[in-house]
Structure 1
């Protein structure tokens, strides 16, 4: 497996806490955030990037301030978040490169997209600690992955040329005519297979869906070797995610990069409501996650 350079390792240290684990708040969503802020398609289309940016700034200020880092897209809140002093100096910054949504092939394969004009150099110019790329993968269907693996390979090479930390995330998915129960049963093997594809391309830090079982988590830890991996929340409820994090951490995960499970029922078009809920609801959830992480990675 590819080992981190000194610069990459320093970036990784900065997105980790004193115990050496990641507790990163993800708020790089755009379409998904619009659906939480407004009920109808018409109302959602009226939620502009300025509103999304203010919401992300509130999440960074009132929630991520208490975590190790925040993951933000480059479309809505940057560079304003930094230039206007909303990001605390102790909070590391990851910038998401993937664009909102995806294209589809006639077979139903998902084709990932990048935000135009965002490169490793631009991520550095935005003052970030590192970047994050997400691609869709079906490890059991090689033809489904050709475009996305090529995209991923280009991004990994770009960040290597800048010697900048890159988080590699993948999501798996069901095809339009696929039996949902059969797909759900295959998730552990699909997540293991997707992890292998990313590692084979040189990923040095993984953000992956919960692998489904303790054994699958242990398999990924063994496969990854020195490459750390964080579990994402995928929007599940907080109680479910706590259990997933407990299992993942007990079997080798190095932390969490989570968003919606923390703040999905806290954000509002009324910023005062958002700020109050982030403090009253999301922050205690964060503390519970930190307690789980701390049980498995005690402070150094």
Structure 2
């Protein structure tokens, strides 16, 4: 059996320049905010995801897709460039308390062996981290997910995202990111996808220091995501995080969110998003060359 490793989703430099189009209800909200008639139809999301994959995957080392809205069409249309690895989201988002993702569990409808047969090299699991929820339950879910991946010969990618506690209002996001890394940074996954400290804002020295603290807690390669970061700051965030020990990025919003709702989306993806992704990938290669 073929067993994939992180090298199979990386660039030749060894760094990761990975594109995410697995956003679900969050993407629907983005289209609604851009002025599309409500409710935004599923087909709008599917079409955008497939077009984004077709146009941008030649410039990415891997692309993360979801089964709910785009996996079948992406496979059917052969939308992913041959140079780009396929990652499938294996997380089921459970809405509640007025938000689209209130809790997460492993999506048992994602068949690891089948998606591997169809070209996938990795699975991804979102892990919501709250300080007042049971760590043992999170660890058990991650270990279960890792086993599913590794039994199938797939790469295991975990994405801990911190949330305020369910009870009380005391929430230190920066400390929570560190605490989540302490808990899950040595959990047996192959790659750790993490929120950028300080939302990528502020003084570069402060950012570097915060990223170094994060690096100390993660015992596997790690990459940053772009949610919550101003797209104009993301390139600097990649550079700073990699200076601290990160190996690249797995990002969607910083690459394509600015074209949502614009006329002629395909042209905008080519003219705006593709150069942006190419620039980010060049930073990854540049930073890996210094190691």
Name the TM tier (shorter chain).
0.7 to 0.9
Please tell me whether residue 236 in structure 1 is matched to residue 229 in structure 2.
yes
Say what the alpha-carbon RMSD is for the aligned residues.
Answer: 2.8
Inter-partner Cα distance in structure 1 for 2:88 and 2:154: 12
The residue that corresponds to 1:275 in the other structure is 266
Shift of 1:189: 2.3
Partner-residue secondary structure (3-state), 1:63: helix
Find 2:147's aligned residue among 157, 164, 175: 157
Tell me if structure 1 keeps the 8 A contact 2:94–2:103: no
The residue that corresponds to 1:111 in the other structure is 103
Tell me if structure 2 keeps the 8 A contact 1:99–1:114: yes
Inter-partner Cα distance in structure 2 for 1:110 and 1:100: 7
Unaligned runs of 5+ in 1: 1-5
The residue that corresponds to 2:180 in the other structure is 194
Shift of 1:250: 0.7
Unaligned runs of 5+ in 2: 199-206
The residue that corresponds to 1:124 in the other structure is 116
Inter-partner Cα distance in structure 1 for 2:78 and 2:148: 29
When residues 148 and 222 of structure 1 are mapped into structure 2, their CA distance, relative to the original with a 3 A threshold, is: closer
When residues 285 and 40 of structure 1 are mapped into structure 2, their CA distance, relative to the original with a 3 A threshold, is: closer
Tell me if structure 1 keeps the 8 A contact 2:59–2:281: no
Aligned residues: 280
Please tell me whether residue 207 in structure 1 is matched to residue 200 in structure 2.
no
The residue that corresponds to 1:291 in the other structure is 282
Partner-residue secondary structure (3-state), 1:129: strand
Deviation readout 1:136-165 (Å, 9 max, x if unpaired) = 012x43x34454433222211211222211
Tell me if structure 1 keeps the 8 A contact 2:28–2:40: no
Partner-residue secondary structure (3-state), 2:70: coil
Larger strand proportion of the pair: 2
Deviation readout 1:80-132 (Å, 9 max, x if unpaired) = 2123222211111000111235446xxxx942134351142243244211110
